[in-house]
Amino acid sequence: METAQNVVWDGIVRGYAPPDVLDIDPSLTLQTAEAAEVDPITYEVIRNSLQNINLEHGSTIQKLSISPITMIVRDFQCAILTEVGDVMFLGPYLLYLGNTLGLTTKWILENRSASPGIEDGDVFLSTDPYVGSSHQQDTGLTSPVFWGSELFCWVSNSVHYSDIGGPVPGSFCLMSQDIWQDPPCFPPMKLAEGGKVRADMEDLFLRQSRLRDTVGMDLHAALAGLSVARGRILKLIERYGAETVKAVMKRTLDAGERAFQEKLDMIPDGRWSERVYTEASVPGDPGIYVSQINITKEGDTLYIDNEGSSPQVGSINNTYAGLVGATLAPLTIMLAYDLGGVSGGVSRRVKFRPVPGTITCCDYPGAVSAAGVFNMPMVVATATGAVAKMVACADPPLREKAIAMADAQAYGGWIFSGLNQYGQFFVGMSAGMAAGAIPASPGRDGVDTGGLFWVPGMEAANVEENELAWPVLTLYRRENSAGAAGAGMYRSGVGAEEAWVLHGTDHLDSQIYMNESFVKNQGLLGGNPGGRAFHRLKQQTDAAAQLAAGTVPQGLDQVSGDEVPLFYKGMPAVLDPTSMWTTNLPNFAGYGDPLDRDIAAIQIDLTDGKLSTKDALKVYGAVVNEAGQVDVDRTAEQRAMCRRERLAAATVGVSHA
């Protein structure tokens, strides 16, 4: 057994952390030559062409896939990478996946260039979180683009596949204590050679799945995306020359690094930390665990560590790849918002100092499959809190780009399976999280049901699309209120809630249903924390009778029946035709003291029905008259009283002997 002293970050015992200079077999020739000069017009044409190629890559995947999680929610990412695997362009999809593609590609260069070799027309497939995936379901494909005999660049994508095997449908194995209880973990292997898919490797991958046809179609959609991107890049090289296109790629990365550096120059040196408490490593576990991210800025570099995180345990872990991706996502949103997806330059100024063996950076054989709905959103939220604190200390106008924390369980996590209305087995993941809230920022409220900020291209499925894909009927989908959760001088956007019943089937098995015991995000600089993500379920209801009578229930408390206790991580819940269940996607964190909120903004929320007069008084100290208008003078008096009460409550008593 290897000791701690000689374990390296090689993607085998620990996550893969690439060295500054990759160890690539000399038989592989890289194209590195670049033109000395590129005129500005040609530069812009090529740069925008590369960006559009990457967008077309993503559009191809979305149009050709058949699973709702890909074609509607867009739980995938695509990227163009340099010859050595540096990420250049990301699509407007799940941000942390793009950075994992860079790690996977670099590992392939170091570990596959000698055997079996890297050649024109190859496609490598990987589900290995210790190499680069965020969890096994986010399967990566990466393909070299050759010009002549030289490796020019790479095109890559990562797609969340509906089921890739393992003990439970959907492959989120909540009971796993280690990787051997997880779905299969495939290090990078050649799925295609010479432009042709290898039947043996395709069968090996698809054989694990309960949904061979669905996963197979999505796999070929991902392959088509690679083919389109590769062909477009070759056409670009044919027109402008390899050295000119390479010069644009390198200078675009350099420009992105300079733009990021300009932002860093607006931030004082310092150290910022965020800590998120979470629960239950496996179903039935009453434990509480800590995710912590620390950011140290020294001059022109950010240093990231996860010191303070709990030791790895159960199924609540992610690997080094997850740590990197989850941290770079909010850094990209808040410090590279003007780069149009050219985020590679950001990575050059971010150095990781990971603490291994933790839930935020586990060692092999830690279980990872559940990370997609539990640990990855948690680490994104933790990193967002640390980045937001840092950016809020910046000079204007950068400080206005700070985004308060999203909920650590922003996905709302509901994954279910069964026979659909056509008698076919399916695994579903609700796209409701795409209607989630965007948190508050300095200078502005968050966006109501604006989606997840770290998945810019995500869309919420229409109710009709959900009902077409799965045997369900949606009773309602509506926005939450703007109450105390996420309140502040600027409030969070409001989230959403939905209610469902079965339609066209006798039962559904819900493997994952998020029911938080406590709020897991903090407000920014005096803002209130957000709300709680939860599910509620009643059995033996009269919902069907009410529908038959022409009444649509508008809340779980409006139907009879027995409410089933649900937990943050619980055993699968069986839903039947008498069941009704609701999902709550909460408001996220607010910014600044709620007592400093502008009267006009409170009035708008009252007029729009997002705020009750009771909450206006309790949360914002706003006194509302009988006409529904905020009384300015009485509100000033009420707020002054609230501040005096705060000070009195915060006074430390003095003991007199």
pLDDT for 406: 81
Arithmetic mean of pLDDT, 331-347: 89
pLDDT for 408: 64
Each domain of the chain, given as residue ranges in start order, spans: 40-256, 403-594, 598-650
pLDDT one-digit tens code per residue, 457-492: 888 888 898 899 899 999 999 999 999 999 999 999
193: pLDDT strictly greater than 50: yes
1: pLDDT strictly greater than 70: no
pLDDT one-digit tens code per residue, 299-309: 999 999 999 99
431: pLDDT strictly greater than 80: no
* Cα 114 to Cα 191, 314, 504, distances in angstroms: 17, 36, 54
The HSE-up count of residue 49 (CA atoms within 13 Å, CB side) is 20
Q: How far apart are CA 254 and CA 344, in angstroms?
A: 9
Greater confidence (570 vs 553) lies with: 553
pLDDT for 2: 38
Kindly state the percentage of the chain with pLDDT values over 90.
Answer: 84
pLDDT band, very low/low/confident/very high, at 525 (cuts 50, 70, 90): very high
pLDDT for 280: 94
Stretch among 447-461, 524-538, 561-575 having the lowest mean pLDDT: 447-461
Sign, CA torsion 27/28/31/32? negative
Stretch among 149-158, 389-398, 429-438, 501-510 having the lowest mean pLDDT: 429-438
156: pLDDT strictly greater than 50: yes
Arithmetic mean of pLDDT, 505-512: 92
pTM as predicted: 0.95
| Structure tokens belonging to residue 1 | 């057994």
| Structure tokens belonging to residue 333 | 């949103």
141: pLDDT strictly greater than 90: yes
Cβ atoms of 299 and 414 within 8 Å: the answer is: no
pLDDT for 4: 46
Name the one residue in this structure whose structure tokens are 């990370």: 371
597: pLDDT strictly greater than 90: yes
5: pLDDT strictly greater than 70: no
Arithmetic mean of pLDDT, 246-255: 96
Say if strands 196-197 and 189-193 run parallel, antiparallel, or are unpaired: antiparallel
DSSP 412-459: --EEEEEE-TTS-EEEEE--GGGG-----BTTB---TT---TTSTT--
Averaged confidence pLDDT in the chain: 94
Buried/exposed code over 320-348 (b: 16+ C-beta within 10 A; e: otherwise): bbbbbbbbbbbbbbbbbeebebbbbbbbb
Greater confidence (434 vs 500) lies with: 500
